[in-house]
Amino acid sequence: MEFWNSVFHYTSITLAYMQMDFLESHQDLLVKQTRKGWLMELCCGCDANTEFKIATLDDPENDILYATENTSCCIRVICGPLRPFTITVSEGAVSGGKTHSLHKRRRACPPCCCKCCCFQQIEARNPNVTSIGKVIENIWCCVPSFTVFDVNQNEQYIIQQPTCCGGCCVNCCAEGFCSCRVPFYIYEPGQHVAGQEVGKVVKIWSGLLNELFTDADKFELRFPVNADGHNKTRLLSATFLINELFFENQGSSGGDGDGGNGGDS
């Protein structure tokens, strides 16, 4: 019995790593939120389950992953953008493909400065529902920041918006003046200073109508060069969390998202 348990454990680990290999060959992704449920959000103010189609930046029209949230209407109405959710990512351009990963977010207090508990976080899991790491909000003062941890709680990356004025506020012109790009830079632990970024998550312009009337946002996800499949999956989790905290409900109700400018969501 012990022999077969060992075989099963080894096989599960091997399959999990094989599953993560899907992202190994893709360095940069375009994460595109669809307009699913936009009319309901615009007219009723109730969030719809979020849906994403994910392509590479080199071939933005060829979707390689599909992601969808599965949360009850009651939870979406009561909790809004702070709701707990699970997003399932599958291979292919439409639903029904082989599951690639799960991204589970728990309910927590809104991001705010000098908070000492109840931090925002999201957990990345493989198809066997085994954790492969988390993204957790840090204690911060002026500009929100997040830490990416592996399954052993080792720090992998720090995610923070570029700053100015001695780190007291967000540098809105870091990606160019009036570029409509909202960046969150990825740093190695202990090296989150200007010029040391190794990757980034950037909210990009998705069109006037989409920006005004829907939550259909788009993100460039540029991975660090040395990121493996697991780290790429964790950074995809971070993209989902950033979207929910700072950009949901902006178009449909002008409400809770603050565009990543350091305020509460």
Return the pLDDT at 252: 46
Give DSSP secondary structure letters for 190-239: T--STT---EEEEEE---HHHHHH----EEEEE--TT--HHHHHHHHHHH
Flag whether pLDDT at 240 surpasses 50: yes
For the chain, the structural domain boundaries read 2-252
* CA 11 – CA 95 distance, rounded (Å): 26
Beta bridge partners of 249: none
Q: Which amino acid is at 157?
A: Y
* pTM (predicted TM-score): 0.82
Flag whether pLDDT at 255 surpasses 50: no
Where does the pLDDT of residue 174 fall: very low under 50, low under 70, confident under 90, or very high at 90 and above?
confident
Q: Which of 101, 110, 30 is nearest to 64 (CA)?
A: 30
Q: Note the pLDDT tens digit of each residue in 93-102.
A: 998 899 999 9
**Tokens 């012990």 -> residue:** 2
